[in-house]
A and B are shown apart, each in its own frame.
Chain A
Amino acid sequence: MQLNKPATSGTMDSCDISIRIENNAGTENEVFLSSIVEKQYGKQIVALIHEILKKHQIEGVTVNAVDRGALDCTIKARLESAIYRGLEKEHALDWSVIDHE
């Protein structure tokens, strides 16, 4: 599933992550990350973003993320906000998929 429109979420504040998500020409998801904790957590953050996209059955999007040291819970929340905005479903959240274990 692709998005209805490009969407953004998050801020550039410390401990937050700024996310932009938009459709690309293919069927694969692409993630571009720049992070102040790239060395320690870069791979993990990219993997987390892919995992969340998959969980929401999103395919063929490009995610640009600028991370300022956000925790995993923040990254999940920001990405899910962006996904639902892109699907124009921000007022109809699918709570069975959004489960913060």
Chain B
Amino acid sequence: MNELKRHGKAIKVYKGEDKVLSSLEEAIDKAGVKDGMTISFHHHFREGDYTLNMVMEAIAKKGIKDIKIASSSLGKIHEPLIEHIKKGVVTEINTSGLRGKLAEFISKGGLEKPITIRSHGGRARAIEAGEIKIDVAFLAVPSTDAMGNASGIGANTKCGSLGYAIVDARYADTVVLLTDDLKPYPNMPASIRQQEVDYIVKLDKIGDPEGISADATRFTKNPKELKIAENAAKVIRALPYFKDQFSFQTGSGGASLAVTRFLKDFMKEDGIKASFILGGISQPIAEILEEGLTDHLFDTQTFDAYAIESFRKNPNHHEISVSEYANPWSMGSIASQLDYVILSALEIDRDFNVNVMTGSDGIIMGASGGHSDTAASAKVTVIVAPLYRGRIATVVDKVTSVITPGKDVDVLVTERGIAVNPARKDILAILEKTNLPVVSIDALADAALKIVGKPDPIEFTDRVVANIEYRDGSIIDVIHQSKA
């Protein structure tokens, strides 16, 4: 590994030409998109993204085939990719997440070549190391000037941080920005800078603001989730890392977000402040900054309107690239400085392995995200999850797919008790002295099984439809084709 150098993007020289092009078609021609190329997208627009579908439709119309898509993630809105796969326009997919009909299509074997699922840090690592060589990045940006100084704040759309896109802009050979707000020069402060940008296309609409950010992040009222969240916050408080200038990240699930509320109260009661909070930033986290309970926020992805406003106006709400966030092949990501991370799980097994990717029916339905990155990096990794959801057990004998290995998970908090990874004797010793309900993970798995009943095994074929990369590039698990 010490022989490796960062992958370099093609050097080009600006000769005064106009970067602003009149159409996507012209951009595809000028960028030289051709058969077999790898093109990339970011997912800051979440379910409100119009651009990936528009670009792929334009590419398909030109008769280009065998495109390899490297998106930071994919959502339900990207269902039209199914048609492009069927017609051979798209033959390879690299992503963190996959949802909806596209996920079902791929789970059932619709794409010949297995997709590659990477964590956010793992994707940044793969791009920088040249494992993913991006030929052309098509990056939706809420605003840019005619040279390519682009920002996550625009007149029509706002997404805050452009943390995923920054990496693509830096490493792609050709960068095409797509915007619906062309600003006078210079458009500052800018997340993506002009030296990295080849072309700019002004479109009528690049996204749906409602799909990009929720109006407000509401705290859960679900009593089960609140109980889990309160106990998770108590676990954090009981451990010695909870002291002035500590740091944490909370995931975006209902219970893990609610941990923030309880934690904030404990911080006030104990008179302690955080040095930084990392994320995925949403309103409850932005409020902690505004109340002076943390010195800094590090933000790769801004979730809601309140957090976007905080990103715009608060000088200590910092934008970071996803490489700074969690790239394991660097001299220290910000995740490496985390004390606590609180994460959710679709499934967690007796060995503390966590699945956030595949439903217990064998169909892909989630995202790897920063789960394994932060779990590996933080001093204490707390998983918050109900014992079961509906009839589906969360604490199981064996997870359907491994995203985060059990060695990186320290504590599981459920509504029926708290289990500590036996490898963390230090944590167990401390929690056993509290009045928190500490039990073994086997007791939790047994209790879940008793309530929901033993499920029939899910049937898979031998064919692999997805390779799950761990953050260091090794294959931690594969997903097999689901039998219809």
Interface residues in chain A, defined as those with a beta carbon under 8 Å from any beta carbon in chain B: 14-15, 36-37, 39-44, 68-72
Task: Check A69–B456 contact: CB distance below 8 A.
Answer: no
Task: Check B391–A41 contact: CB distance below 8 A.
Answer: yes
Q: How far is the CA of A56 from the CA of B390 in the complex (A)?
A: 27
Q: Which of B449-476 contact A (CB under 8 A)?
A: 451-453, 455-456, 458-459
Kindly name the residue among A14, A40, A42, A72 whose own CB sees the greatest number of chain B CB atoms within 10 A.
A40
Across the interface, which residues of B come within 8 angstroms of A14, CB to CB? Answer: 390
Q: Does B392 contact A (CB under 8 A)?
A: yes
Interface residues in chain B, defined as those with a beta carbon under 8 Å from any beta carbon in chain A: 360-362, 389-392, 451-453, 455-456, 458-459
Q: How far is the CA of A81 from the CA of B452 in the complex (A)?
A: 21
Q: How far is the CA of A70 from the CA of B388 in the complex (A)?
A: 12
Task: Check B390–A36 contact: CB distance below 8 A.
Answer: yes
Task: Check B453–A39 contact: CB distance below 8 A.
Answer: no
Q: How far is the CA of A39 from the CA of B458 in the complex (A)?
A: 7
Task: Check A44–B392 contact: CB distance below 8 A.
Answer: no
Task: Check B360–A71 contact: CB distance below 8 A.
Answer: no
A44-B453, A72-B453 are contacts. A37–B392 as well, Cβ < 8 Å?
A: yes
Name the residue of chain B whose CB is nearest to the CB of A69: B390
A41-B456, A43-B456 are contacts. A15–B390 as well, Cβ < 8 Å?
A: yes
Name the residue of chain A whose CB is nearest to the CB of B360: A40
Across the interface, which residues of B come within 8 angstroms of A42, CB to CB? Answer: 456
Task: Check A40–B451 contact: CB distance below 8 A.
Answer: no
Kindly name the residue among B390, B391, B452, B456 whose own CB sees the greatest number of chain A CB atoms within 10 A.
B391
Q: How far is the CA of A11 from the CA of B102 in the complex (A)?
A: 30
Q: How far is the CA of A14 from the CA of B389 in the complex (A)?
A: 10
Task: Check A69–B392 contact: CB distance below 8 A.
Answer: yes
Q: How far is the CA of A34 from the CA of B453 in the complex (A)?
A: 18
Task: Check B451–A71 contact: CB distance below 8 A.
Answer: yes
For residue B360, give the distance in angstroms from its CB to the closest CB of chain A.
6
Partner of B361, one of A40, A43, A44, A70: A40
Across the interface, which residues of B come within 8 angstroms of A40, CB to CB? Answer: 360-361, 391-392, 455-456, 458
Q: How far is the CA of A39 from the CA of B362 in the complex (A)?
A: 9
For residue A32, give the distance in angstroms from its CB to the closest CB of chain B.
19
Across the interface, which residues of A come within 8 angstroms of B456, CB to CB? Answer: 39-44
For residue A20, give the distance in angstroms from its CB to the closest CB of chain B.
20
